[in-house]
A and B are shown apart, each in its own frame.
Chain A
């Protein structure tokens, strides 16, 4: 059984059935396992097709769309075919019969932070995508109303990015100041 702990270098992830040359795929996306959970890796180009295929398969609900800024972790565990980018879009889907979950990770480059919107497939992704746009700055093509949802409309900057400061005010503490 492939080990779960990954080394620091971005070597190809150990996937089940690792002896064959063909890595495992599900709906066109590469499969890895993370703590026993199924994770699919798609490229931005194949993202929408993969989600469509998963929806056909029975994943009726898109539970969550979120994103991570890997500015401080450019080197991380990913399949060899996937090039790491600064942003990673994470989509969680759930199927009810049978009850199972799948997670989809898509790399989004910093130079062109856009991705397709899942609104036509899953209207419930409207609010999470707006949140991702608001806090991370990833734009979604095809989204009906891509405006800020949590911050005021005229806010500048995307707070959850790693290069956005915490915004704390200095307080009188004897302890060491926070690292960020």
Chain B
């Protein structure tokens, strides 16, 4: 590589030039090298004479005491949970200041949403927080339904709750897997994915896809549950507690895990509230704020579950909260199993729900409705609304503005990870780089949510 040395060091007196295939490489004469350069890499060329060991005591140079180093972590890095880039200001290995740089996954989804009909909106939104796709679809559908002022049938709401809670389980299990991997426990990855495959297999049976389902749509859900869904869900619920106990044995009571996570990445209650942190990160500081309990939606006010909070606000608290939230979700799923009502899985309003395919051959009206709904889409009355639900990462909100047409005028998704990442600089200050990795992992950001 051709580098031009600092002018002060060489000036016009460089006499040594080597011809390489890359061009001319100028070499400074040894005597002409500034002493400071001897102990620094400039332009990645270390100008030390060969075969000579430099004793720092021999060289007279001034080093400012507060010299810190700025390094770049990411965006391509195995432990940044996606394409998060961090600029860390380090003093040795201690992290002083941090700047999270995002935008490496910006997909223009909010702009795309203005071009898609409401029934297609789910496909766009579901890919934002790709670890909890049902949540994105649900919040978008709920916003559309509130603008339409329609009531979703009972069974559809309970099906939504079932899928949401199973999705919370699969998302938190993935957190356990990646958290373990980031802290060095590769077995967590293997175990976590084994658990996740059980839930994904059920999703595939119900929705047809393992991820990014577009199953929850305005008006209800896309299709009814298969006939033997109870057996599948019971299998999941029976297997999980034992597997979670395995995780407990592997991590919760283990010295290495505890030392790496206790006291690391502490954030206080006031700081979390000021920084718009929500979800398990906020609950780890002791604030018992869970939208399912405090601002209930769907039928969360009719099921019993506990809101898990931590006390210290460190990495261990967040891990413990999430693993216990899986247990609470299993508890909720058991209750849904008992209480699932029969009925419609989608509102029977012909203006919103397309007719069943078999009816298209029989009825002209059904054909027209099908045609209109899939080419033009249903029109939503003008207005604006903000709806929020509790996703595994925090408050997931959808601000939807409609102009009376069949496409949103403006759709904004309030991603929980976008705000949660603001906690990173505070949590990392004073810690080591290894702690930085643990802290990012404990926030559990999904960059699709951050960048949209």
Contact = CB atoms under 8 A, between A and B. Distances in A.
B383 A4 contact: yes
Nearest to B289: A96
B110 interface: yes
Nearest to A99: B294
A124 B399 contact: no
Given A61-B276, A127-B422, A150 B399 contact: no
Contact of A152 (B103, B274, B414): B103
Contact of B103 (A69, A151, A160, A167): A151
Interface in B436-452: 451-452
Interface stretch (B31-39, B257-265, B336-344, B384-392): B384-392
Interface string A21-65: 000000000000011110100000000000000000000111110
Contact of A124 (B110, B287, B397, B422): B422
A123 B275 contact: yes
Contact of A90 (B289, B399, B418, B451): B399
A180 interface: yes
Interface string A130-153: 010001000000000000111110
Interface residues of A, number: 48
A85 interface: no
A100 B76 CA distance: 40
A131 B395 CA distance: 18
A62 B108 CA distance: 24
Contacts, number: 112
A66 B103 contact: no
Interface in A92-147: 92, 94, 96, 99, 101, 103, 122-128, 131, 135
A178 interface: yes
A34 B384 contact: yes
Taking each of B273, B383, B386, B395, which has the highest tally of chain A beta carbons within 10 Å of its own beta carbon? B386
Interface string B400-430: 0101000001101010001101100000000
Interface in B108-134: 108, 110-112, 114-115
B304 to A, nearest CB: 19
Interface of B: 102-103, 106, 108, 110-112, 114-115, 146-147, 149, 273-278, 287, 289, 294-295, 381-386, 388, 395, 397, 399, 401, 403, 409-410, 412, 414, 418-419, 421-422, 451-452
Given A39-B384, A92-B414, A101-B386, 13 more contacts: A4-B149, A63-B395, A64-B276, A72-B409, A90-B384, A92-B397, A96-B287, A123-B275, A124-B419, A124-B422, A152-B103, A166-B112, A167-B108
Across the A-B interface, the 8 shortest Cβ-Cβ residue pairs: A124-B276, A150-B103, A124-B275, A64-B414, A150-B106, A99-B294, A66-B412, A68-B410
